[in-house]
Amino acid sequence: MIDKLPTESKGFTTFEQGYSQCILEVNEKLLNPHKVLHGGVIYSMADTGMGGALYSYLGEGELCATIEIDIVYFTAVTSGMLTCDTKVVHRGKKIATMESEIKNDGYLVAKALGTFSIFKVRGD
């Protein structure tokens, strides 16, 4: 099912069954006025990684959407490379739970736990 991922998913380095990894180089455009990486960037990496990891478990005609994500930030980021490793913790019929670890040059900077809805698109 991994072939269902959009071809424009350039931030991803790995897609495996129930796992994804994406990377992002921190640059000045992503920093807040205090010259620290905006937390929303890390949150977006976790959200994207979770969707990518879940795609491998979706059946024909199934899609997914974020219900909620809880994230804990451990330290500020000002430069370097971010890596987001995500795994599917549980996949039920309509709900899935994923876990992401975001590292900055190998050091853990945030951890997230997310819940996604699994659904089929209804016809007109």
* Domain coordinates in residue numbering, the chain: 10-120
Q: Distance between CA atoms of 22 and 62, rounded to whole angstroms?
A: 23
Task: Report, in angstroms and rounded to the nearest whole number, the Rg of the chain calculated over CA atoms.
Answer: 15
pLDDT cut 90: percent of the chain above it: 81
What is the model's pLDDT at position 124? 52
Over residues 43-87, the pLDDT tens digits come to: 999 999 999 999 989 998 999 999 999 999 999 999 999 999 999
**Residue 110 CB partners (closer than 8 Å, separation 6+):** 42, 46, 71, 72, 73, 74, 101, 102
- 30: helix, strand or coil: helix
The rounded mean pLDDT for the chain is 90
Superfamily designation of domain 10-120: Hotdog Thioesterase (3.10.129.10)
**More confident: 121 or 94:** 94
What is the model's pLDDT at position 7? 43
What type of residue sits at position 65?
A
Beta strand 62-73 with 107-120 is antiparallel
Q: Residues 84, 21: contact at Cβ < 8 Å?
A: yes
Report the predicted TM-score, pTM, of the whole model to 2 decimal places. 0.88
